[in-house]
């Protein structure tokens, strides 16, 4: 039973009727049932910390009523960013549970404040139940992926599965899959949107696999019942859209890519090389619909890079800007160039660095610039596949303002000139520097001209999301619609063309929705879809033909947590890349190269080494 209850609230939504002393209260408990996954936040006002405080979480999409417990004393990040003061402190005067997108109250019941650990029986919520493959096809068994979370403070033991309404002839291939399948740990009083978005999986979450016989092509709907000792069984509907087999022969290794020519158009894209790490956890937990066609892959594997190369060059993309991290010699997310150097088909793709200098104040100096430049020369610039413009290796830089901040007026140009001098002395002709503009939507002359003053050779944006654009339609609750970005991209490029005094790479935006990582702190774009991206591509070609600006840059292809995605995945298939191919590519007489998954030729998957179910 609850060891210490301060207040029970039996109405929906908000607590306003009493002051709560945080020295006596450690958290809250409430009940909620949602038929879709909600990104929500608990918000409160305290007399000890100025402003509204909040904690993000996600709900179970299975439609069942679950009891949610949050231990505010267990949230290491619940601190005021400026003062370091604990957010759960003083007297709390009001508290609400809100939906992120709408700002409306999340329907909750039986809210109560607690002190200590409540006694909640095991209670499994089904986060995802569907095909393990991003694009399931006939001709092979249908593996189901089940992502389950235990909301109880008691472990869920002897987890079991049963099915009703399977297609005719479809059965569970291994009856052991239906036997007791282990344990899901107890809830520890926290959710992972804020507190654990970039660490290992939660102790109260687990992924299972159940393999069914090939059900044949079609849309199959059947029921799954999940049970465990002492728990009320949960019944959910499972939908599996199975496509016909492509009939491709098995391969010992990935077949050689067939690059698509794009004539005068040179198409590139940003990539974020973060997928040798634990970052997948926040995606498979809260955005399983984004699952890549390559699976939850390990990007240190050169085979993964070869598949990325195949998907790029067969759809008209010929170069990539790779996010690269360095702060005063501390270097991380550095695996992609290493794996690329071992890839069999690396000779088909050009690449360059985007120095993501998200560095603390004071990180830039002449000495550090000399050090980082020599690192580039020793490790990257002499690679035959390293991208050059006007014979000079290309480096794009995330924050020119950070360099100017640290070095003072004229300091950014000074640092860039240091790099250029060292590169010339090494026989490389200098460095072609491209600034990543921010905010991405600004097009006024004063803003654009500073990058020439800073000493850059050109500019780009990571992805266009219309921030800073005075003509952009107002966001509703901080949310933009992707359709609006498609509507405004051509106007945006034309304004840049009119006002910019440096060359720029137009951004074919893949938008942004980082709710899986940042919950209520995000400013998402909704309704991201391949049809609107195809409109953006068509307008980009029109703009290129009007102006002669034919080097174009797609927004990130693999920001799986931030929701800027172009690589093939469960939700959009190959739609984004095929829009590029169809718009800019020269179709061969034999037709476009076929887009398919590794499993279609008997290869893969390429999971992380610790990606165990």
pLDDT tens, residue by residue, 569-608: 999 999 999 999 999 999 999 999 999 999 999 999 887 6
Q: Which helix (H) or strand (E) holds 285?
A: helix 280-286
Considering only 268-282, 466-480, 486-500, which range has the smallest mean pLDDT?
A: 466-480
Residue of 490, 443, 506, 565 lying closest to 265 (CA atoms): 506
Q: Give the other-Cβ count within 10 Å of 361's Cβ.
A: 8
Residue pointed to by tokens 């990007």: 299
Question: Mean pLDDT across the stretch 100-118?
Answer: 88
Would you call 40 helix, strand, or coil by DSSP?
strand
Report residue 567 as tokens: 């690589």
User: pLDDT class for 18, splitting at 50, 70, 90?
Assistant: low
Kindly give the pairing relationship between strand 319-327 and strand 266-271: parallel
Give the span between the Cα atoms of 100 and 57, in whole angstroms: 10
Give the span between the Cα atoms of 416 and 414, in whole angstroms: 6
The pLDDT value recorded for residue 508 is 98
Domains and CATH numbers, the chain: 5-114 (2.60.290), 124-242 (2.60.40.10), 266-601 (3.20.20.80)
Give the span between the Cα atoms of 571 and 600, in whole angstroms: 18
Would you call 124 helix, strand, or coil by DSSP?
strand
Residue of 531, 512, 540 lying closest to 579 (CA atoms): 531
The pLDDT value recorded for residue 509 is 98
**Full-model pTM:** 0.92
CA dihedral 522, 524, 530, 534 (to 10 degrees): -110
The pLDDT value recorded for residue 520 is 64
Q: Helices 411-425 and 366-376, interaxial angle, to 10°?
A: 40
Q: Residue 72 to residues 54, 55, 199, 459, 519: CA-CA distances in angstroms? A: 10, 9, 19, 44, 17
Beta bridge partners of 321: 270, 352
Contact between 467 and 509 under an 8 Å Cβ cutoff? The reply is: no
Give the span between the Cα atoms of 18 and 23, in whole angstroms: 15
Average pLDDT, the chain: 90
Contact between 378 and 370 under an 8 Å Cβ cutoff? The reply is: no
Give the span between the Cα atoms of 26 and 14, in whole angstroms: 18
Question: Mean pLDDT across the stretch 526-547?
Answer: 97
Question: Mean pLDDT across the stretch 172-196?
Answer: 76
Residue of 80, 47, 66 lying closest to 231 (CA atoms): 66
Contact between 330 and 372 under an 8 Å Cβ cutoff? The reply is: no
- Largest interatomic CA distance in the chain: 75
The pLDDT value recorded for residue 601 is 97
The pLDDT value recorded for residue 80 is 44
Question: Mean pLDDT across the stretch 274-287?
Answer: 83
CB-based contacts of 214, cutoff 8 Å, min separation 6: 138, 139, 140, 141, 142, 170
Distance between first and last Cα of the chain: 33
Question: Mean pLDDT across the stretch 148-175?
Answer: 93
Residue of 1, 46, 44 lying closest to 23 (CA atoms): 46
Give the span between the Cα atoms of 153 and 119, in whole angstroms: 6
Contact between 245 and 139 under an 8 Å Cβ cutoff? The reply is: yes
Report residue 360 as tokens: 């603390």
């Amino acid at each position: 039973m609850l060891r210490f209850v301060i207040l029970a609230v039996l109405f929906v939504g908000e607590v306003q009727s009493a002051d709560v002393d945080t020295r006596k209260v450690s958290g809250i408990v409430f009940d909620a049932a949602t038929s879709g996954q909600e990104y929500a936040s608990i918000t409160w006002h305290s007399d000890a910390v100025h402003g509204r405080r909040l904690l993000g979480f996600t709900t179970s999409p299975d439609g069942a009523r679950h009891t949610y417990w949050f231990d505010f004393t267990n949230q290491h990040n619940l601190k005021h960013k400026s003062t370091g003061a604990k957010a759960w402190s003083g007297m709390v005067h009001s508290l609400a549970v809100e939906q992120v997108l709408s700002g409306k109250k999340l329907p909750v019941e039986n809210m109560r404040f607690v002190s200590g650990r409540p006694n909640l029986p095991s209670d499994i919520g089904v986060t995802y139940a569907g095909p393990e493959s991003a694009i399931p096809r006939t001709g092979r068994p249908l593996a189901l992926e089940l992502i389950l979370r235990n909301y109880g403070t008691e472990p869920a033991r002897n987890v079991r599965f049963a099915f009703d309404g399977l297609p005719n002839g479809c059965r569970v291939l291994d009856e052991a899959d239906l036997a007791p399948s282990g344990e899901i740990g107890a809830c520890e009083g926290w959710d992972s949107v804020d507190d654990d978005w970039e660490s290992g999986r939660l102790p109260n979450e687990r992924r299972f696999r159940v393999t069914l016989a090939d059900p044949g092509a079609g849309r199959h709907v059947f029921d799954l019942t999940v049970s465990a000792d002492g728990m009320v069984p949960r019944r959910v509907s499972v939908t599996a859209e199975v496509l016909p087999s492509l009939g491709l022969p098995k391969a010992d290794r990935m077949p050689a890519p067939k690059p698509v020519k794009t004539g005068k158009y040179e198409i590139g894209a940003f990539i974020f090389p973060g997928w040798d790490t634990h970052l997948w956890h926040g995606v498979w937990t809260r955005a399983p619909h984004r699952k890549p066609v390559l699976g939850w892959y390990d990007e240190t594997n050169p085979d993964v890079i070869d598949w990325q190369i195949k998907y790029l060059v067969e759809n008209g993309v010929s170069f990539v800007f790779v996010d690269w991290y360095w702060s005063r010699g501390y270097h991380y997310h550095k695996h992609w160039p290493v794996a690329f150097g071992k890839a069999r088909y690396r000779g088909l793709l050009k690449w360059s660095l985007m120095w993501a200098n998200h560095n603390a104040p004071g990180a830039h100096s002449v000495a550090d610039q000399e050090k980082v430049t020599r690192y580039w020369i020793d490790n990257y610039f002499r690679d035959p596949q390293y991208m050059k413009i006007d014979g000079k290796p290309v480096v794009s830089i995330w924050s020119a303002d950070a360099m100017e901040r640290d070095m003072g007026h004229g300091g950014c140009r000074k640092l860039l000139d240091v790099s250029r001098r060292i590169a010339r002395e090494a026989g490389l002709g200098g460095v072609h520097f491209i600034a990543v503009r921010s905010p991405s939507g600004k097009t006024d002359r004063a803003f654009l001209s500073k990058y020439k003053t800073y000493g850059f050779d050109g500019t780009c944006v990571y992805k266009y999301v219309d921030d800073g654009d005075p003509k952009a339609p107002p966001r509703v609750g901080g949310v933009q619609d992707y359709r609006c970005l498609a509507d405004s991209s051509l106007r945006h490029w034309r304004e840049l063309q009119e006002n910019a005094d440096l060359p720029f790479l137009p951004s074919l935006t893949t938008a942004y929705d980082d709710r899986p990582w940042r919950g209520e702190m995000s400013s998402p774009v909704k309704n991201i879809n391949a049809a609107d991206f195809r409109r953006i591509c068509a307008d980009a070609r029109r703009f290129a033909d009007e102006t002669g600006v034919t080097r174009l840059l797609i927004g990130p292809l693999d920001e799986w947590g931030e929701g800027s995605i172009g690589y093939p995945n469960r939700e959009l298939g190959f739609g984004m890349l095929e829009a590029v191919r169809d718009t800019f590519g020269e179709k061969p007489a034999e037709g476009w190269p076929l887009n398919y998954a590794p499993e279609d030729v008997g290869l893969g998957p390429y999971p992380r080494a610790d990606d165990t179910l």
